[in-house]
Each structure stands twice: as structure tokens, then as C-alpha cells.
Amino acid sequence: MANGNGRAVAPAQRRAEEPEENIFLFIPNLIGYSRIVLAVTSLYYMPLHPRTCTFLYSVSCLLDALDGFAARKFSQSTKFGAVLDMVTDRCTTACLLVFLASAFPRWSIVFQGLISLDLASHYMHMYATLSMGGSGQSHKKIDESRSWVLKMYYSNNIVLFTLCALNELFFIALYLLSFSSPILSPSLLQTAPTSLQPGSPAAPKPSMLFISPWSAGAMEMARANKMDSTIPWILASVSFPVMALKQVINVVQLVKASKWLAEGDREARRKAGLPKKKSL
């Protein structure tokens, strides 16, 4: 190609003159940053204000679907965006589970296990797909011959969104129940020697119901009078089967990624001539 002076412009020079795209300012990545801000803000409100926290946390989770739509619509799918999306998901879920572990100490080992499974399965899966599948491989591109379950999970956006949304909904419902259900949180009600009689007084003060007037439950009652646990119980019951299925998929993902990495290790050792045969 010739310029105005009749000189040829090299392709490398032409590329150098083109403006460099700023990946960090792509629309789906901007949505990802807003998710982080909302998630961090929800953590600030998490100990004392369940309604505000739930609203902010839920919006952050719902935006997870919007950034994927924006990436496809504006042709701005990037590896940075994919990793940002996954890291944000793992961190926000882990933070909520940490709170649940402290709210339900008897079940803390279960929540710790869920955190470990979630982080381990997704890290192993992403590392396996990027290291074994080549530079152009995405963690959402799954060969059906390896796992039809993961193929369905990652290739169908409706299935992916439904499972992730209801999985988060179950933990959000547990979070709300930690403020409203004496069945799950017996410490919400005071076990004083002199028990309160129904209707006496008609509107007891939070200090009469809660062990500590500065506890999360007492602060919430003082702020909003009461918090009904009916809806959180319904949400938890409806979403529990999907949450359990999501954990099964995490186990499958962890096992399949481990086997794929082992295949690569065997092939690399074979090319290196290992194990070396012992000479007689």
C-alpha cells in the first residue's frame, strides 16, 4: 500500500499507527467492575442490615448474566473478562459462605467444604482447559466426549444461569434465616430464667428478646421492627435441590479436570522417555 508520497507503508508500520484497544475499558469488563463494587458494598452491610445486603448482593449476581450478553453483542469477549468474571463469582460466594460459617458455627465445616470445593473445581477446570486445550481454548468450551454434564452446563446459557442463580439464592436464603429463624439460630431468642409471656408486654424491646442488644438480630429488629422468615424458608426449600446439583457438577468438574491434567502428564513423561527402564 502506498502513502501520499508514493512510498509503501509496511503492514507492521500500519498496525503501529492504529490505536491500541484498551481491554480494561470494554463494556463487559466495566460491568464486571460494577459487580465488584456492589459485592464489596454488600459485605459492608452484611453483619447488620440483611435487606440492604441482600439487594446489593443479588444485583451483583444478576449482572453476571449481563456482562456475558454485552461481550457477545459488542464482540468484546476476552480472556481477562472471563477470568475476572470467574474470580468475582468465586470470591463473592466465598465471602457469603464465610459469613454463614460464623452464623451457623455447628455447620461451619460444611460451609468450609463448599468454599474449598467451589474454588478447587473451578481453578482446576480453568487451568486444565487453558494448559491442555491450547491458547484459543475457553473454559466454557467443553468436548462432549469428556463430559456431557459439563457440556450441557457450560454451553446452554439458560441452564448455566438457572443453576448459578438458584445456587446463590439458597445461600442468600440461609443468610436471611440467620436473622429471622430461631430454629436455625437459637441465639436469636434469649434463654433467660424468666421467660416472656405471650402479649406481656405487647411489644417487647429487643433487649428482652436477644442475648446482646448489639447482636445482628437485635440491631435488625430495632431497625425494622421484625423480619419474617416465611419467604426465606420457601426460597431455601425451592433452591436446595438445585444447589445440591450444582455441588455435584463441581465434583464432576474437579474429577474431569484432574483426569485431563493426568493425561497431559502421562503424555509429557512419555515424550521425555519416562519412566526410564532399568538396565539389567
Furthest CA-CA distance within the chain: 99
Burial class (CB within 10 angstroms; exposed 0-12, middle 13-18, buried 19+) of 239:
buried
Q: How far is CA 81 from the centre of its chain?
A: 15
Residue 227 phi, psi dihedral angles, 5° rounding: -140, 115
Contact yes or no for 60/39 (Cβ under 8 A): yes
Contact yes or no for 124/256 (Cβ under 8 A): no
Q: Quote the CA–CA distance of 181 and 111 in Å, as a whole number.
A: 19
Angle subtended at Cα 258 by Cα 256 and Cα 264, rounded to the nearest 5 degrees = 105
Helix axes 157-180, 230-271, angle to 10 degrees: 130
Would residue 143 show up in a list of annotated catalytic residues for this protein? no
Contact yes or no for 251/117 (Cβ under 8 A): yes
Q: How far is CA 147 from the centre of its chain?
A: 22
Contact yes or no for 243/177 (Cβ under 8 A): no
Active-site residue, from 64, 89, 143, 265: 89
Positions annotated as catalytic residues are 89
